Structure 1
Amino acid sequence: MDSLWYTVFMEPGHFLFLKVRGNANRKEAAIYSPELPVTLSRQGCQLHFSMYLYGGFNGTVRLSVVENGTSVTPLVWERAGRWKDSWQDVILQITDLLNG
């Protein structure tokens, strides 16, 4: 078992399933997490997620961060284009973003 599969099955976390069929132009899905405590958000912060797209997919996946009390939603990560059956493992350092 490779390390990504091991992480997916053995590490605690959550799983989200989004079903997209046919022509889904301009469709969006949003995921929100609880806010980080101030003490935690002032320290180094890393976001790690894995995703699997089944079948052919031609579209864009974006990740933005919303800070409470502001209307700014900076784009943190984006991948666009043609996708095929494969896992994508993404690790982002978001310390600079959170510390402004």
Structure 2
Amino acid sequence: MFASSNKARRETNERTEASMDTTTHSIEATAGRTDTHLDQVEDRLINRYEKTVPPEQVRQTMRAEAHRFDDAPVKSFVPILVERAVRARLDRPA
């Protein structure tokens, strides 16, 4: 009985460790996708404002807004939130 209890505990621990590896991998993959999406947002915004705002100003505004979300526990919505914030800042009359 004791041996089967230990075996069950070991199997549970192995499943938990495997699940943690998958979770870590998923977090890293999500971070990579967020960076890719932010690059796409930056390209879109540079194109949108090409006649009125220098590309470097768009990039600086993007970086500032993106840094606001550095500690966000959920990164999925960061690109759209950054894009909206940047557009709001750049659309404001000077």
The TM-score, its normalising length taken from structure 2, stands at 0.27
The TM-score, its normalising length taken from structure 1, stands at 0.26
Higher helix share: 2
Larger radius of gyration: 2
Higher strand share: 1
Bigger RCO of structures 1 and 2 (CA < 8 A, at least 6 apart): 1
